[in-house]
Structure 1
Amino acid sequence: MSVTRAIHRLTSLLGEGLSLSKPVLEDHGRSETYFPLAAPDAVAFPKSTEEVSAIVKICAEEGCAVIGFGAGTSLEGQAQAPFGGICVDFSKMKAIRRLAQEDMVAVVEAGITREELNEELRATGLFFPVDPGANASLGGMASTRASGTTAVRYGTMRDNVIG
């Protein structure tokens, strides 16, 4: 297992899209949880699905942990890296790929937040109902099966994704 080799290969792939900056690492080693700081070894900022795939492939080949990161609003601590690894920050992936009002379907990238999606949906008369109490990213919400104050009426993230 070599985090050093993974970082070298990811630097070649992402250039400035890979950060080793101490403040960036610390920002990605904490969340809204009560757990102490557990920073990753590097933070990758992919801009496409292809880059995410390449990052995961490199980390798998090097035996390096991969930690997904949305908005960092989680209370569970799953975005922390207690054993190091590469944090993949999806904040650069915010596109709405498809919006089908008639089917009530939105295909989005993982980094878009619920507030950003609802801003785009406003003109259609639709809205995204899952409200975990923070401006969370949809990728993060999907990874934690988010719920919140509207879950009784509209369901959890799982219900909305399946629906």
Structure 2
Amino acid sequence: MLGVKIVCVGKLKEEFWRAAVREYEKRLSSLCRFEIVELPEAKLPGSPTAGEISAALEKEGEAITPRLSGLIVPMCIEGRQLDSEGFSRLLSGAMQSPGAVSFVIGSSYGLADQVKGLGRGISMSPMTFPHQLARVMLCEQIYRGLQILRGAPYHK
């Protein structure tokens, strides 16, 4: 069974985001070994400088890296865009070797270059989304991708 991990920086603050993720965790529990790892955001002042942001991303990257396993997929705006069938093929490939995939969602400032360099990134859209919504969207796409692979009617 495929191991799917989402390593993310920051907590889901609103209950409606948490409820949506719980729903997908429940749906995914029979399809894969699913895990979400939440890491704290690095502390930054109200109006951080570019250097402070870079240092914070570096610190977050150091916390992210040891939690990754299998195929590593940074979620970043510079990444490639996939349709749902392409995303399901990515999951299928992860099932073959090494049998696990780690998706990484950074803080509101993104991901450190060191984390982006660990795998081939994916962008959900050229539009910008809150990282809390991105987590829900990623959970849904993982569920959809696994349903596509099963030939289930969920995907239209």
- Do they fold alike, i.e. is TM over 0.5? no
TM-score by length of 1: 0.28
Larger-Rg structure: 1
**Higher relative contact order at CA 8 Å, sep ≥6: structure 1 or structure 2?**
2
TM-score by length of 2: 0.29
